[in-house]
Amino acid sequence: MILKDDKENHAKKIAKCIAEEIKLRQKFDQHLVLGLATGSTPISLYNELARLHVEEGLSFRDVFTFNLDEYCGLEDNHPKSYHDFMNVNLFNRIDIPRENIFIPSGQIEPLFERDYCEGYEQTIKDLGGIDVQILGIGRSGHIGFNEPGSSVDSITRKVKLHDITRTDASSDFGGFDNVPTHAITMGMKTILSANRIFFMAFGEAKQEITKRAFCEEITDDIPASHLQRHKKTTICTDFDIT
Ligand code: F6R
């Protein structure tokens, strides 16, 4: 399903769906597993979820979250880490128990990376899989940090970041050379196994790659194109893609 609206309205609608899912599960003493993205795209959504908590009493005590990715080499409290981003933009503003929050660590020794990534996958499985996944898209065509060439069978792993991705992050890090070269990302298989996906892309910079992802052939060169095969993805944009 493709929906065109402005970013704020999309945020309200997606937050409403998430809130309904949370409340429905709370009625039956069940939890909800959310897959979360960072970056500028989901900020309005996180603001709305925080508002629903503060103003309307929505509780996140039965929610588990798994973030898509983290830069390798950054400590959790680094101001540009995705850990810090999530704390500032969402977790510090809601009542989610700290032990329910999972974000890949950027600090794993190379020797333990494989086990660590398999453990991340297993934790998602143990909680029943991702119920609702939030996604943005990078100009390289990535979702999470699954850069061009990522296969649909990929799981959580360490990846090399595309130059376009590092270029787009260079203002955050004070120059291209300061941007981490690698990251840990949830895999394509992990993402595509989510029950429901909200894909968001806003602004002119995302228009071309989004059109290529959804209007052209499915290819590993544009990992987001694999979402065409996902049964329950809602594409939320503020531009036409047909
Ligand atoms: C971030 C992530 C990335 C971003 C994408 C868009 O956790 O997984 O795929 O969603 O790079 O970033 P923004 O929203 O900053 O344009």
Q: What is the pLDDT of residues 140-159, one digit of tens each?
A: 999 999 999 999 999 999 99
Residue 37 CA, ligand 1 centroid: distance in Å:
6
pTM of the full predicted structure?
0.97
% of residues, the chain, pLDDT over 70? 100
Query: At 176, phi and psi to the nearest 5?
Result: -55, -45
The residue behind tokens 């020794």 is 109
Which residues fall within 8 angstroms of residue 186, CB to CB, at 6 or more apart? Answer: 35, 66, 68, 69, 104, 120, 144, 155, 156
What is the C-alpha separation between 157 and 126, in angstroms, rounded?
18
Give the mean model confidence (pLDDT) for residues 31-56: 98
Could you tell me the end-to-end alpha-carbon distance of the chain, in angstroms, rounded to an integer? Answer: 12
Distance in Å, CA 27 to ligand 1 centroid: 33
Q: How far is the CA of 204 from the centre of ligand 1 (A)?
A: 15
DSSP states along 199-215: EEE-SHHHHHHHHHHHH
Average model confidence (pLDDT) for the chain? 97
The pLDDT tens digits for 66-94 are 999 999 999 999 999 999 999 999 999 99
The answer to whether residues 49 and 90 touch, using CB atoms and an 8 Å cutoff, is yes
For ligand 1, atom 4, the nearest C-alpha belongs to: 136
**Nearest-angstrom CA–CA distance, 86 and 162:** 23
Mean pLDDT of 59-66: 98
